[in-house]
Amino acid sequence: MAYYIDLQRMGWDEYREILSVSDLIPSRRLLLEDVVENFDRIRRAGIANVGELLHLTKTKPMLQSLADELGLDEHYLTVLVREIRSLRPLPIKLKDFPQTASLLVQRLTSLG
């Protein structure tokens, strides 16, 4: 079982605040340009939270279509989706930690 930030509960104002204090790599700093206007476009389209945006951009054609609909640059939307996905890192299984006893892993696995 993995525990993550609930992206369905994260609104655009909250995410904008996270972005503003984040140390973004140079290729992602474009997200801060016109961020209020861009997030307002997304919100006006009825996309209430960042989780919903991820759902609507699962595939490249879906992302391209949404970028056109919102009037946003496709590259901007692609980078935004990548940055949002970085909030949910890939889980590491307990068995992948070298110091974890295999018997413990087996017992926990049997318990579910």
Whether residue 2 has pLDDT greater than 70? no
Q: Say if residue 1's pLDDT is above 80.
A: no
Q: What is the pLDDT of residues 67-87, one digit of tens each?
A: 999 999 999 999 999 999 999
Using alpha carbons only, how large is the chain's radius of gyration in Å?
18
Count of beta carbons in the 10 Å neighbourhood of residue 83: 18
What is the torsional sign of CA 6, 9, 14, 20?
positive
Q: Which residue has the tokens 């590491």?
A: 92
**pTM of the predicted model, to two decimals?**
0.79
Distance CA 33, CA 31 (A): 6
**CA atoms in the 13 A half-sphere facing the CB of 68:** 6
pLDDT in the model for residue 102: 85
Tell the burial category of 77 from Cβ atoms under 10 Å away from its Cβ (0-12, 13-18, 19+). Answer: buried
Q: How many residues does the chain have?
A: 112
Span of 25-29, 49-53, 58-62, 88-92 with lowest mean pLDDT? 88-92
DSSP label of 71: T
